[in-house]
Structure 1
């Protein structure tokens, strides 16, 4: 048996080798300052800007409710992340079987991260294009998604930039220290140890297997599906959190590319210029949507309270399991997974719509209103 800390240390290291088994165009010029003149001064702070940010999120909910076919974005984004989970599992398995060197390992990581981000960016472009057309009632999400091919080069390059930035942030985050002193243990919430700690508990660990992170799948009768869950799933969560941060920091790049036909460089510069004007609104919108997802996610605490037996390592002796969850509890855990998955990607769709609302507000000087 290997210990959780050994797996985390190895996986956050320089390669994917598993632990040992025991038993648009591109732009060449920076646009002039007059390009983004006339942006409203949205950074004044106060409750008004916070209300505008929350209003953009609520407006996005209303827009999605009135235009149900935008849920195709929700479905396809969810499928992209399922594909990422399978890809992460495949890379773990390749690392175990072939043990590639560090360069090959980094290359495979980059290809998977790039492919994931490219599909998400392309879907986001289709979503941005379809929202105004839906107000006119003239086109569909699929029509506008096909129209996004005109901006394929810029979206491709933007995906490369995001993938490289994501991998860099991942490396920085992976060296986040683990605090073993109780006075600073709360810092571990922001470090790599948070994910195994949560996924080792019920309902995420449906079978209450104490060795779910400590034994290599395929050995000792253990299922190869454990490469997918929890290993691949955990790394999808990690990269998703990093990618979400990147999208929040650069929310207007895709709208500027597909709506104003900006070059990539102009879009990035323009997004940062608009972000300075709408920083509080964007933060308020992101926090509001994050609270919605967190509220659904934290219902697992209610499931744990009802179940009573939650962590296989809290028994005595540690890891000695005397009973496993019944089929009814496993079914409840699966329903919880489904609910969190659906809510997360619906909220992600609302966030994409809200970005366009904030973008329009910043460009026209009109406030996002709670309609």
Structure 2
């Protein structure tokens, strides 16, 4: 049973039903029923035209539902003649579905869930497990989202920035449950790139590939976080790095710079360095300057302070950090790191402990606690040595 094939066909099958007159919510339910039927029957033999098979089964399910609902009588009359089975049309509605699922009227969490369901072909149970919420909660979220987009008139171009933001949110969820959301985000972004020629789509795909290439080296055997500078670069996926850099170079050559291209350029400089000491920090600061210009994001300014600390020394980084709001997420952790680089170990140990208390997830909290403990152990050892003298 080829689950990848099923998921790749989902958006085009859904698009065909919508073009035939089904509203989005009813069409999506019918497609999910067809996918379940495919999972049940296809192991006995793959149909000659898998897409056409799914379209036929989904359309019949839609008509069955429409005929059973008196409130939809008029729509049933319009669709009374079932199209004859045969090869599915070659029209690709994937792009339309991306824009519909990332509609501005949806909350980010609803847009992500609907994209994974309608475009990604995942079941409600898989999405719920990935986000660690009850299946009933996710079902309600998806149902509300479907009702919202069913009322949307798709009479103007969608916002590609919103679509990319949704895909980036999916990617940042990483892995949990039985679905690898980072890999799923890469698959969906590849699909979008094939349907939509835009340098920022390419930039996001490059960024994902470059980040994903370091995945195997990000955690220690005990599950602890491994900072970039300490990672075993021999475990990085060189194929993904090569592909990501190639995609990025082609996007940058079009001279329509966007934030995802700039982020990917920073990731490429990290990936291209043979060792942490050989990282091109001056260039990274320049790319952060571009990102600040493009986004004005306080988080970007925070990351820039780290880069300045590497390029121009920790005191320059602390000066850049002092200009930022201390309540920013990770501000205390960055301050701890820069103070350690500057040799102020007592302050760094105290700030690492403070940052650990503010950490939003267990892995980060554990990492920062270990940094504080490491510095305190060194300070105590030095104090004991002085006492012995």
Under TM normalisation by the shorter chain, which class is it? under 0.3
TM-score (norm 1): 0.21
TM-score (norm 2): 0.21
**Higher RCO, 1 vs 2 (CA within 8 Å, ≥6 residues apart):** 1
